[in-house]
Structure 1
Amino acid sequence: MRSTIIDWIASLVSEARSQAGEMLASVAVRRAMLWIWPYAGVIVGMDAAAHYGEATGAALPVQLFISQDHGFGEYLEYSLTTACAVMLFVMWRRLGPMAYLANAIMMVWLTLDNAFEFHEQFGHWIAPAIPLPAGSPVHANDVGEMMFFAGVGGFWLLGLASALLGAQPRAAVRSLFIAAGIGCAAIFGVLVDMMVTWGPHTVAQTQFEAWIEDGGEFAFLNFTFLMVVAFFHAERLAWRRPRRAAPVSAVA
């Protein structure tokens, strides 16, 4: 049993190195970066300018904020997570491992939550039922939002874990890479967001921390998208590769 687990871990490590090399060498990733990153850089710059404007009293249009509902940054995030969901769903249909489907469902949920702010609605709904001591540095709705993300993340991790148990090393490693990207985005979206509201801050501190929060979440969503592009492109090349005709035995 112990040797089996060690062999499984060794196969995952070997596959992780192989997948990392494929991502770094992927032509599709470089093309996606050339198309998306210039626009993403403009969005991050506009977000920085908007936060600076808020800190100095020179307010700019709210659409420049990455976190603004239906702003420039959020529309790009909708596109990235939707594209990830489609690619992962196709990979599940063509390859079979349920790990791809679990991640596709998570991408759909991220898109819908980003668009309709389910976590914020839940936080305000449950806030009256969350007792906090007087003078608490965080608000009850912030705690409710964290509870919502913890619940959804728990269900996703359970589904992902069950899918990984029966997955091949390649599907398992790819799912772990995707989970790392989503997890890092969640750290900025939840924990750094709580830091912004934790205790007293100057206006400049609040705006800088909010920019770090929005930019970090935005960056890791971009990195996750590039990972999925690399995985999908590698499989697409394999699907397009012509099958070698089976040799015909000579008839005496």
Structure 2
Amino acid sequence: MITRNDIADIGGPLLRSRAMRLALFCIIPYACVLVGLDVAAHYGDATGAALPVQFFMSQDGSFAEFLEYSLTTAAGVMLFLLWLRDRALVYLTSAILFAWMTLDNWVEIHEQLGFLLGAAMPAASWLPVQPNHLAETLVFLVVGGAWALGIVAAILKADKRAAIYGMLISVFIAGAAVFGVAVDLATSWGDHGPMAINLFAFIEDEGEFAMIVLVFALCVAIYDVETGRAKAMAGHSHRVQFLQA
């Protein structure tokens, strides 16, 4: 049974992680610049003043997209390395999800599946949304549901430390899903003017971007704390063996 004290005892060192603070110190200034460019791009789009597509946070090949690729890839690698050492399925399940997020962001898997499935879906003229957008939401629900089942099963089998880490990661992934799926569907639902579309898109992109930055920082802290614990335990084991000898 995980208690509040367990969460405080295990989560406290994450907040004090020097590696996490350093990562945020390096990323936040650049992230703020990207948000500013995105604001300018959306305002330009709404007012008819076109700006470079690389300014948009959600555009393929944009400056923000490359940062997101880096963050999700790095988070997945760190968790995979922890799984190789500890064999806690929480790490592997989350690493696979980050790999999917990177690949999907890069080659637009859900958009392509959305168009394929949308073309095969029966016409629903009474719905104020295009079939491909509904199909994209369905793809996200299937992938998210599969991951949710995997992470819940992994948490139930994990020790308290790994279980709490899994729950913390899940909170930010759920937050990213709210912005990336729910707000995206709201943007596509019905007819909106240019200003409303850009406002919805801004909320979606910035919200999802913030969740990715935060979950990356969390993974840095987990890797830092767990690597430090492993080194300390190895050092203690060597001292015990030395004394026994």
- Calculate the TM-score normalised by the size of structure 1: 0.91
Number of the residue aligned with 2:207: 216
Q: Does 1:159 align with 2:153?
A: no
Query: Where do 5+ consecutive residues of structure 2 fail to align?
Result: none
| C-alpha separation in 2, matches of 1:197 and 1:223 | 27
Number of the residue aligned with 2:11: 20
Q: Does 1:182 align with 2:176?
A: no
Structure 1, 131-140 or 147-156: larger mean CA deviation: 131-140
| C-alpha separation in 2, matches of 1:152 and 1:165 | 20
Equivalent residue in structure 2 for 1:235, among 190, 203, 226: 226
| C-alpha separation in 2, matches of 1:137 and 1:20 | 44
Equivalent residue in structure 1 for 2:73, among 82, 106, 115: 82
Q: Which amino acid aligns with 2:125?
A: A
CA RMSD of aligned residues (A): 1.5
| C-alpha separation in 2, matches of 1:26 and 1:149 | 33
Q: Which amino acid aligns with 2:19?
A: A
Deviations along 1:163-184, one digit per CA (max 9) or x if unpaired, are: 2221001101101111111111
1:95 is displaced (CA, Å) by 1.4
Relative to structure 1, the CA distance from residue 249 to residue 126 in structure 2 (aligned partners, 3 Å threshold; closer, same or farther) is closer
| C-alpha separation in 1, matches of 2:126 and 2:150 | 39
- Calculate the TM-score normalised by the size of structure 2: 0.94
Structure 1, 153-162 or 140-149: larger mean CA deviation: 153-162
| C-alpha separation in 1, matches of 2:13 and 2:231 | 18
Number of the residue aligned with 2:239: 245
Query: Where do 5+ consecutive residues of structure 1 fail to align?
Result: 1-7
Q: Does 1:91 align with 2:116?
A: no
Q: How does 1:94-133 map to 2 (within 5 A)?
A: 94-133=85-124
1:135 is displaced (CA, Å) by 4.5
Q: Which amino acid aligns with 2:135?
A: G
Equivalent residue in structure 2 for 1:144, among 132, 135, 139: 135
| C-alpha separation in 2, matches of 1:30 and 1:9 | 27
Q: Does 1:33 align with 2:27?
A: no
Residue identity over aligned pairs, in percent, reads 44
| C-alpha separation in 1, matches of 2:35 and 2:79 | 27
1:132 is displaced (CA, Å) by 4.2
| C-alpha separation in 2, matches of 1:184 and 1:239 | 31
| C-alpha separation in 2, matches of 1:132 and 1:177 | 40
How many aligned positions are there?
241
Q: Which amino acid aligns with 1:93?
A: L
Deviations along 1:187-231, one digit per CA (max 9) or x if unpaired, are: 111110111111121211111110110000000000000100111
Runs of 4+ in structure 1 displaced over 6 angstroms? none
| C-alpha separation in 2, matches of 1:22 and 1:248 | 30
Structure 1, 87-96 or 153-162: larger mean CA deviation: 153-162
2:2/2:160 contact within 8 Å kept: no
1:21 is displaced (CA, Å) by 1.9
Relative to structure 1, the CA distance from residue 166 to residue 135 in structure 2 (aligned partners, 3 Å threshold; closer, same or farther) is closer
2:14/2:225 contact within 8 Å kept: no
Q: Which amino acid aligns with 2:72?
A: T
Q: Which amino acid aligns with 2:128?
A: P
Q: Does 1:67 align with 2:61?
A: no
| C-alpha separation in 2, matches of 1:157 and 1:209 | 26
1:9 is displaced (CA, Å) by 3.6
1:102 is displaced (CA, Å) by 0.5
1:130 is displaced (CA, Å) by 2.1
Q: Which amino acid aligns with 1:69?
A: D
Number of the residue aligned with 1:51: 42
| C-alpha separation in 2, matches of 1:56 and 1:200 | 18
| C-alpha separation in 2, matches of 1:33 and 1:248 | 42
